[in-house]
Amino acid sequence: MNGEEFVPLSLVPMLTGIFVAVACALPGNFLVLRRQALIGDAISHVVLPGIVVAFLLTGRATTWPMLLGAAGAAVVAVIAIEAVRRLGRIESGAAMGVIFTAMFAGGVLLLELSDTSNVHLDVEHALYGNLESLIWLDALGWSSLWDAQALATVPVELPRMALTLLFVAGFIAVFWRPLKISTFDEGFARTVGVATAPLGLGLVIVASIAAVAAFDAVGSIIVIAMFICPPAAARMMTNRLERQIAWSVAFATLAAVLGYVLAGYGPLWIGARDSVSAAGMIATISGVILAIAARLGPHRLRGSAAPVG
């Protein structure tokens, strides 16, 4: 595999995959610890109706209306779940189940009822995206990385995901102490003056932003998998949050790279002609990593709060 082939075809999808994986895994650490892991699942389902509505309103399948529509749908879903939970006094898992299935069903039906035949907008795309299509046409090789003219034609998903990753990382860095305290001991966090409720909502919103930005490029499977699997695997490795986050970033990157390579080149190695879904393969690899960590991780058992350094 040389640069002339790798840079135009694989560099951009691979980097996008890594950025998506890390941007989702970072907030995922806190969501898993706070037992809100399924928020990512709910958000990635409700993104579909948001995108369909945005498309119907603007008539175009372009980036910004879609992102706004998806973000709007995520906010509507979070509010609706909370409303059902409070108004109906219903346990949050069930409230989530009611809202995201109904919104997803609405999205599918809207999509089927409206004429979207001339744009690339369908349920399959929403589910598993199209990482492989992020081809950098103007790149000729590694040297293109220093060529401003070629750089201008990089698929827009890459810089967008990079920005999203920076934003997510920034949020976690800025609110590191309050986030850490309120995740482990919400009562104590309140006593020392952390506004836990807005902070919790902020975390969910940041997670939604990561999910919505990621979703367009890679579909919702990777999003759910990356929210949960790398942090869950990292949790088996250590008792310290700092190290857990480092592990989760490493696992997310590993899953993205290995998944993309296996999906793109794996079938060729065993003699098949076509590649398989990169999104699905990345999710699968993250599951394999989790399985290994769950069998062998030093802190895989409950109550394994061994002496910490």
Partner 1 sequence: MIFDALSLQLGYNATLVTIGATLLGMAGGVGGTFLFLRKRALVSDAISHATLPGVALAFMVMVALGGDGRSLTGLLAGAALSAAAGLLIVSWLSTRTRLAEDAAIGSVLSVFFGFGIVLLTIIQTMNTGRQAGLESFLLGATAGMLRSEAFIIAISAALTLVLVLVLRRPLTLASFDPEYATATGQNVTRTDLAMMGIVLAVTVVGLKIVGLILIVALLIIPPVTARFWTERTDHVLMLSALFGGLAAYGGAALSAALPDLPTGPIIVLVGFGFFVVSLLFAPGRGVVSALLRHRRFQRQVHLRQGLLALAQGQPIFERLTLRLLQAEGWVRPDGVATRQGQLRAAKALRDEDRWQLVRHDPAYEAAALHYDGLTAIESVLTSDQLDALDARLGVKGGVRP
| Residue 234 to residues 226, 227, 273, 292, 297, Cα–Cα distance (Å) | 12, 12, 35, 11, 9
Residue 40: CB minimum distance to partner 1, A: 7
Residue 171: CB minimum distance to partner 1, A: 21
Q: Which residues bind partner 1 (CB under 8 A)?
A: 32, 35-38, 40-41, 45, 84, 87-91, 93-98, 101-102, 104-106, 108-109, 112-113, 123-124, 127-128, 221-222, 224-225, 227-229, 231-232, 235-236, 263, 267, 272-277, 279-284, 286-287, 290, 294, 299-304
Cβ proximity to partner 1, 85 vs 160, nearer residue: 85
Angle at 215 (CA atoms; ends 182, 218), nearest 5 degrees: 120
Cβ proximity to partner 1, 7 vs 256, nearer residue: 256
Cβ proximity to partner 1, 31 vs 209, nearer residue: 31
Residue 140: CB minimum distance to partner 1, A: 29
Q: Which residue has the tokens 């409303």?
A: 83
Cβ proximity to partner 1, 303 vs 307, nearer residue: 303
Residue 262: CB minimum distance to partner 1, A: 9
Residue 71: CB minimum distance to partner 1, A: 21
Residue 279: CB minimum distance to partner 1, A: 7
Cβ proximity to partner 1, 109 vs 192, nearer residue: 109
Cβ proximity to partner 1, 7 vs 218, nearer residue: 218
User: What residues have CB less than 8 Å from 127, skipping those under 6 apart?
Assistant: 219, 220, 221
Residue 73: CB minimum distance to partner 1, A: 16
Cβ proximity to partner 1, 41 vs 82, nearer residue: 41
Closest CA to 253 of 224, 228, 285, 277: 285
